[in-house]
Amino acid sequence: MTRIVQVVPFIGPGSGVAGVAWNLEQELRALGATVERYTFDDARRGKAWQWPRRSFARRLARGWRVVWLSTVGGARARRFLAERPDAISICHNDFMAGDVYVDHGVILASMRARGNPAWLMIRNPFHVFIHLRDLIRYRGRTHRAVVALSQADVAELRSTYGRVRPRIEVIPNGVDLERFHPPTPGERRKGRDLLRLGDEERVAVFVGHEFHRKGLRYAIEGLRYAPGVLLLIIGGSDDIIAEAYAQAQAIGVGERVLFLGPRQSLGSYLAASDMFVLPSAYEANALVVLEALASGLPVVTTRVGFAPEIIEDGRNGFLVAQDAREVGERLAQLADEDLSDWSRRARASAEPYTWRAAARRYLDLAEQLAAERRRPVAHGRGAPEARG
């Protein structure tokens, strides 16, 4: 029986890295693997972590946590793993430990996509630390394999770090097809009642916490070219929500924008919506795109991350530039159509990407690495090509 340890700062149902690790944990166990976890709380050895209340102090605390996890936390994780020599370890995010590292994003690629990367890096010293840390991660021997979430992610890794020493495997994220599904008429009505919407409104939904990187301003400005569309915005913090609201008011679309703030469960809001929009500058693999497709929503998004591998332009959504007019015109096009066929095609495109299928590929990789550990290979061989 394969034994796996997931090394991840946080784990739990929901979105983001924590949700990815949680879904993999459930499915790996269902496939018969023994799965343990090592988290930030484990590395802290039970000591409470007090978050500051003020926004600037919280940002500093988040940055310091990254540094701590990458250094002290990584050393403690390695000692934990050394006590389990038969286990294959899968690392997510900040820990510098584990057989397999899952790349959830390249910091320098994200900065490049937003423009002026040197300034964006310098203004936040923690970004410089992450870049240098990951330079060691990808060129060194910390990990035996790297999981990229898309083919575009492989290209970003190689353009940023040059030769990546560990082998690269491409394993896209999955989606819970039971949790995310096209709504029944009753579910749609309930979602619309929650937002006090009638049947006639056409609603686009945006989900993301980093409004600047996720391109929210293009979705808001795009409403000028989609006069019949309302925009639901899920995520964000008080300061960036206020900034985005001021933008919507300034261009005269404030009455068609509804800021909902962070939400743990997306089901009711996806059920109330007709389409999904994410004009992001950079993604490794936007999990919410898969969730929207599984929910039967056509997706308007940029050609980043996994999107070009799953969005068929004009069939289950549109691939657009970061251009307000283009985003708006595509939303308007969808608003004018009967979306029944779009919904069926969106759902069908997501169905192959279950968490069970993703977990099976992780398990196959773990079994290969376990076999190689029992049968060491000669050093000095070139890095194998990425496999999808």
Residues 275 and 159 in one domain: no
Residues 142 and 229 in one domain: no
pLDDT number for residue 16: 86
Are 142 and 99 contacting, i.e. CB atoms less than 8 angstroms apart? no
Residues 199 and 137 in one domain: no
Whether 152 is covered by a domain: the verdict is yes
pLDDT digits (tens, 9 = 90+) for 339-386: 999 999 999 999 999 999 999 999 999 999 999 988 865 554 444 556
DSSP 8-state secondary structure symbol assigned to residue 175 = B
Residues 143 and 244 in one domain: no
User: 309 — phi, psi (to 5°)?
Assistant: -85, -15
CA distance 265 to 190: 14
Whether 180 is covered by a domain: the verdict is no
Q: How many domains does the chain have?
A: 2
Domain of residue 192, residue span: 185-350
Q: The tokens 């059920």 sit on which residue? A: 271
Q: Which amino acid is at 182?
A: P
Residues 142 and 235 in one domain: no
Q: The tokens 């310091």 sit on which residue? A: 64
pLDDT number for residue 22: 97
Name the pTM for this structure.
0.90
Q: Check which CATH number belongs to the domain holding 238 and give it.
A: 3.40.50.2000
Q: Which residues of the chain have pLDDT under 50?
A: 380-383
Whether 117 is covered by a domain: the verdict is yes
pLDDT number for residue 382: 47
Whether 144 is covered by a domain: the verdict is yes
